Amino acid sequence: MFTNKEKTIKIIEKSIEKSLVYSNEGEVASYIPELANVNPTDFALSIVYVDGQEYKFGDYNKIFSIQSISKVILLIMALNDNSINEVFEKVDTEPTKYKFNSLIPIDNIAANPFINAGAITISSLIKGKDLNEKFNRTFDKIKKLSNSDKISFLEEIYKSEMDTTDVNRSISYYLRSKKIFSLDAEEVLDLYIRNCSIGINSTDLAHIGALLANGGKDLESGVEIISKDSVRIVLSQMASCGMYEESGRFLLEVGIPSKSGVSGAILGVVPGKCGICVYSPKLDKSGNSVVGKNLLKILSNDLDLNIFV
Ligand code: GLN
């Protein structure tokens, strides 16, 4: 989608420069102890266009934990394994002003699939004979969607979160007590945390974004890999709920359906054009990468990527 490749690259480089002004702001997440061990100055930008062309800058080979961006894959899987009605009678579709790991939005249903309560609910909808089979299915799905053999499982991140995840454990038990699922609460929690602990780089995530931007069709063969219904649902939920309690503001300022994770990555999808992944670990108070959200805002403006104007 580079009509004028050199000009586009110059614009992107200028946008990166402008966004790095924000690199002094924010803090690396530390509530999962292992996440604090990253290099705060790491920076990567990968853009994959629907015609297969790529732009990569910085630490684009660096593996980081996918964290909340796994919620996108979990939702794709749940929609694959269940009907749309079955999914949305368990989890709502509405944005929330509460923190991503809040217990508050749980009444009888979690606010949306992209906060923890919603994603833990969604984890209970993944089919498989046991925890390992369920996890292997989502792990293989990420490999398939990114078309990469570099996807890994980050054992240290997993252990670190499992040891400290009292809040998510509470959410899982609370959901079970509300009969939103009847499976073992520890097992559902475990599947959710395992998915957050998948290791990936910015380019492989941008590939998943490009696939969504391409209506779920493989960029080379045109074969449908994600159903049109799933693409429609995932992108609309990314637009309305993907940036936690800043989702409305982000949509207003940036106009790109996006999903962020506390490792510092943000995945943006511009339908018909490209998938974009920015990685920069320092976060704002909502848990969104500071450089990441600013770079997406600048790119949206400079490359004319806003889906509304
Ligand atoms: N594993 C993290 C958690 O559950 C993911 C949250 C996030 O990326 N916002 O707390």
User: Does 102 have pLDDT greater than 60?
Assistant: yes
Q: Which residues contact 255 (CB under 8 A, 6 or more apart)?
A: 300, 305, 306, 307, 308, 309
Averaged pLDDT score across all residues of the chain: 96
Distance in angstroms (rounded) separating the CA atoms of residues 251 and 260: 13
Q: Which of 4, 21, 51 is nearest to 275 (CA)?
A: 51
Read off the pLDDT of each residue in 168-190 and give the average, rounded to a whole number. 97
Both tokens of 210, joined, read 């490009």
* Confidence band, pLDDT 50/70/90 cuts, at residue 104: confident
Q: Is the confidence at residue 70, as pLDDT, over 60?
A: yes
pLDDT at 2: 63
Residues 6+ apart with CB under 8 A from 80: 227, 230
Is 30 one of the annotated active-site residues of the chain? no
CB 181 within 8 A of CB 172: no
Residue 105 has pLDDT above 90, yes or no: no
- Burial of residue 258 (number of CB atoms within 10 Å: 0-12, 13-18, 19+): buried
Cβ(101) – ligand 1 distance below 6 Å: yes
How far from 297 is each of 185, 253, 254, CA to CA, in Å?
39, 7, 5
Q: Whose CA is nearest to atom 6 of ligand 1?
A: 68
Query: For the segment 211-240, what is each residue's pLDDT rounded down to a tens digit?
Result: 999 999 999 999 999 999 999 999 999 999
User: For position 107, what pLDDT does the model report?
Assistant: 75
Q: Compute φ and ψ for 205, nearest 5 degrees.
A: -70, -40
Tokens 């704002």 correspond to: 284
pLDDT digits (tens, 9 = 90+) for 108-134: 889 999 999 999 999 999 999 999 999
Q: How far away, in angstroms, is 161 Cα from ligand 1 center?
A: 9
Distance 304 CA to ligand 1 centre (A): 31
241: helix, strand or coil: helix
CA 148, distance to chain mean position in Å, is 17
User: Which pTM was predicted?
Assistant: 0.97
Domains of the chain as residue ranges with CATH:
4-302 (3.40.710.10)
